[in-house]
Amino acid sequence: MAKANKFKFTKPEKSWIMYDWANSVYATNILAVIFPIYFGSVCQAAGADNLVLWSYGTSISTFVVAILAPVLGALADHKGHKKKLFTAFLVIGVLFTLTSALFDEYRMLLVGYVLSHIGFSGSCLFYDSFLTDVTTNERMDRVSSWGYAMGYIGGSTIPFLISIVILFVMGMDNMLAFKLVIALTSVWWAAFSIPFMKNVHQVHYIEPQRNLVRSTFQNLARTAKDIFRQKHIFLFILAYFFYIDGVGTIISVSTSYGSKLGLDNISMILALLMTQIVAVPFSIMFGRLAEKIGALKALCGAVGIYFFICLVGFYMGFNIENHPGDQGALTLSLVLFWCMAFLVGTVQGGIQAISRSHFGKLIPAERSNEYFGFFDIFGKFAAVIGPLLVAMFTQLTGRDSIGVISLAILFLVGLVLLLLGQRRGEVQ
């Protein structure tokens, strides 16, 4: 590993950070905004239910990666395998994203989406685990935070704005415009992955055994036992499971919640764009904060802010539900929505970045893929509880505001587990 100046990033660190810039365009254009609209239009023209198909496709791809993550992680920890597996998933992701720009048939689009999503998620698993190869424990929070910050610029802002311009100039009903945006996503992802491919290498590894398959599963079993035996690591992963579920649920339900309350769509979209912009400097600031006060204290602070966001979200909905048709209540709720969007931007990148780097400091570097494989499982399956809580409490009470406040449970449990982990001697 290259010697690092305290204030300057090394070439491997810069190249690692650039992959967040590269792949975040997929998360924005394919997972969140552009491709779902395109897929929905194609499905509707064919008389197919796009919501059902999209939900199944997302569930399948997420489940496949979650199940494979620990096994692939254990395999990648052997000398010479991590970069090869990363490259394989990168190629799958880029190629099948590009494939989606070549077809008009919804079944082919769905297959392309599922396979590209597997490629994207798999590459991110190995990308996260490379953090231990490119930097030191002392610099890990800063490097991880800069990765998220550059991701917000490189995926959530610049190419997203270019995509919006293409769609507005060519027309939102022009299928060629959507194809060009999908192609742009593939090219952006591939082009900005080149520095990572050239300059990031596996430094920590396990020497390959004669029977690679047996060695992989033996190491996997050992890692599982070690995680449960090392209570501070287990408690941190468990805490992550709860609070990251809350983070993901807030991201996924925010526009739906606002729409049901009658808030203006354009105002909500602009507010969420503000979230992405605010997240850039605050992700960097969060990394510096973690260096000064410790990662656990920074994470507890972020979880506390999310708990407060749930309270604000509850009041916003409660106010409208109790004053239906009142323009003053609607205006106040829109102002509160903007406030929540700003608050989310201050912690959204930071809580994910510091979770990643803090976990990287807790685990043995030569077995980082195995551990991150389990970390990935908890992150993937965490996406279940939050939406279920919102749906259950909303149905039981008939109030959307109660559904939103139920998410506070996840942050409260996560905070308690973080504090318990700290008492167990977790690394600061």
Q: How far apart are CA 278 and CA 282, in angstroms?
A: 6
Which residues lie below 8 Å from residue 7, measured CB to CB, with a gap of 6+? none
Q: How far apart are CA 186 and CA 110, in angstroms?
A: 17
Question: Residue 23, Cα to own-chain centre: how many angstroms?
Answer: 11
Residue 221 identity (one-letter amino acid): A
- Check whether 376 has a pLDDT greater than 80: no
The conformation of residue 137, written as its DSSP 8-state character, comes to G
Residue among 411, 412, 386, 391 nearest 403 (CA): 391
- Check whether 187 has a pLDDT greater than 80: yes
Phi, psi of 206 (to 5 degrees): -105, 135
Report the SS3 class of residue 78: strand
CATH match of 10-228 with 1.20.1250.20:
yes
Higher pLDDT, 145 or 74: 145
CATH match of 230-428 with 3.30.920.30:
no
pLDDT, tens digit, 9 for 90 and up, residues 219-268 = 777 878 888 888 888 999 999 989 998 888 787 677 667 766 777 756 77
pLDDT, tens digit, 9 for 90 and up, residues 2-36 = 455 566 899 999 999 999 999 999 988 888 778 88
Position 425 scores a pLDDT of: 54
> Of how many residues is the chain composed?
428
> Among residues of the chain, what percentage have pLDDT more than 90?
43
Mean pLDDT (the chain, rounded): 86
10-228 and 230-428 agree in CATH topology: yes
pLDDT band at 374 (very low <50, low <70, confident <90, very high): confident
Q: How far apart are CA 167 and CA 33, in angstroms?
A: 12
Residue spans of the domains in the chain: they are 10-228, 230-428
Residue among 87, 89, 95, 121 nearest 197 (CA): 87
pLDDT, tens digit, 9 for 90 and up, residues 238-248 = 999 899 988 88
349 neighbors 251 (Cβ within 8 angstroms): no
pLDDT band at 428 (very low <50, low <70, confident <90, very high): very low
- Check whether 372 has a pLDDT greater than 90: no
Instruction: Give the predicted TM-score (pTM) of the model.
Output: 0.80
Mean pLDDT of 138-162: 89
- Check whether 182 has a pLDDT greater than 70: yes
- Check whether 99 has a pLDDT greater than 90: yes
pLDDT, tens digit, 9 for 90 and up, residues 379-393 = 766 666 777 788 788
